[in-house]
Structure 1
Amino acid sequence: MKQVRKAIIPAAGLGTRFLPATKALAKEMLPIVDKPTIQFIVEEARKSGIEDIVVVDGKNKRSIEDHFDSNPELEDNLRAKHKDDMLKLVEETTDINIYFIRQSHPRGLGDAVLTARDFIGDEPFVVMLGDDLNNINNNGNALTQELIDSYHQTGASTLAVMRVPHEDTAKYGVINPSAEVEKGLYNVTSFVEKPDPKDAPSDLAIIGRYVFTPEIFDVLAKTKPGKGGEIQLTDAINTLNKTQRVFAHEYRGDRYDVGNKFGWIQTNVEYGLQHPQTKDELRDYIKKLGAKLAAEDNKKTTK
């Protein structure tokens, strides 16, 4: 069985939910305290043993490429001023085998994955979506590592799922599990893209991490546009599941959705409470803010 060595990070989306900030800035470069969201994804990949990463980007994404490129002027300045800790942070972003491919037209997630076919070749690979962060404080296994471990047991494509409130199933792709073959690993009958809650077959939602066998590319190449006129990855997974098993691995760790404003703010707060340069001041601020809000609520109820 071939090892999983390569990862695809789709990053061609327009980021319209964060306008106007994303008019000229890649959504993936929005920071969580002091680190761009895409850097968390890259660090998760490397922690999971991934050797080569390809970012599928689009127009106005040059800031991602610049972030992972060297900046000799900045590095020389930090070196001359003996700011060794800062220099190390900067150099860590360039010590990565990372490549970039342009998705010329926004044809959907399935098309973005297909764009990287020549880079992957005939190897199993990981797909990591930038809106989903997990284990941001490095206090356990990375989700991608869990999926790779599962793949090495089964030899089959495996995607990550997590239980969500039933009323939220319309926001996700959802699995219809047929059997739990072992704790947290499911055989799947079908995959449903953003079902109405009354039609959702389960509360197990797909959360943006996948391990695929290379056969997914042949399926994607034949997949017709689905919802929104885009090539849906979920449709291709359904088709693949008819000829070879596709498993779902249930993740039980911490997950952060940075694809919406509240999720991004929440992630900043939680990461900020662990960051050595912000945790103490932020904790004090939250306590004071909580007391202030409680006093305001008390005034409203006594009027």
Structure 2
Amino acid sequence: MKNKSSSVLRLDIATMKYPFFSVTGGEEKRQYQDEKRDVSLVISAPTDCGAPSVMDRDVLTYCQTRLRQLYGPKDLEVFDEFPAIEFSFRKFCATTGRQPGGTSMAYLERALIRLNKSLITTKNICVNKNELAQEPTPFIDFFEITKGEDRKRGRGNDVIIKVRPSRWVHKALIRDYLLVDPDFYNIKSPMARRLFEVGRAFVGDRPGNFVFDLDGLSLLLGLKSPRNKMLSMIKQHIPQLARLDLRLDLKRDGVVYSRIQSEPEELPPVPPELEEDYLNPMNPQEEAEQLLKELTLAKTSCNDQENIGYDEELARTVFGEP
């Protein structure tokens, strides 16, 4: 049986709440601004690669999860230079639900380039009341891909990827993150992924609802679409969110997110010989009287009271007068 606790993903809340990753992908510059709270985000990318997409997030999520599996938060806090993560291409594909072939390799290389060349600039984006760095910084500081005969570690012809996430990403991960089911990787629609990230980040692990007006949700999704088109896109992806225990309801004045609570486990059936007792339980007074009768019978049927440890006064105190 799969150990779910050891396979859960770690996603930092900052990049889940705000549109760091694009639903469409490819833009040279993406901006988010909330004038009311004086919060802003700018992603700048070279023309030859464009900004990271929602699906590129898989690489970062994989690295963040590996970091938290290898190191505790105190370890990550004291590193002068944050450690690089090394992983095999085949293991990455197996975990993220991809086929280990040329298409997946091309995707991984493009994603790594975009994560390395795109720069994040933020203002007042805080995690646990600690503001993250405002200076332009990449998602990952560097990466290295080693193939076939260039490798000398005896792992066959697999490809090994070495990645060091940036200090910004480390701080976001250390301060505040959520545990997410690995089925997150099985959602292949960028729109469904982004809807899940936003809802899960704001709802968190608590019961209850979180309500967005449609304009506010559109900003967090990083989309600018007419209202009717936006509602249609959201409605189309609702069933996929349920796979990750997140409910989304469309209302006239907005969108309501809530967690789907697990169904309580069914109790085992009552054995036939005990069914009468379960269906017709005695009231407390009847039960007390029955117990006292049993104790009295035990007293009179035994020649030596002391051997059975019967205490009539104690019995009457506990069960009352018959």
TM range (shorter): under 0.3
Q: Which has the higher contact order (CA 8 A, sep 6+)?
A: 1
- Relative to the length of structure 2, the TM-score reads 0.24
TM-score by length of 1: 0.25
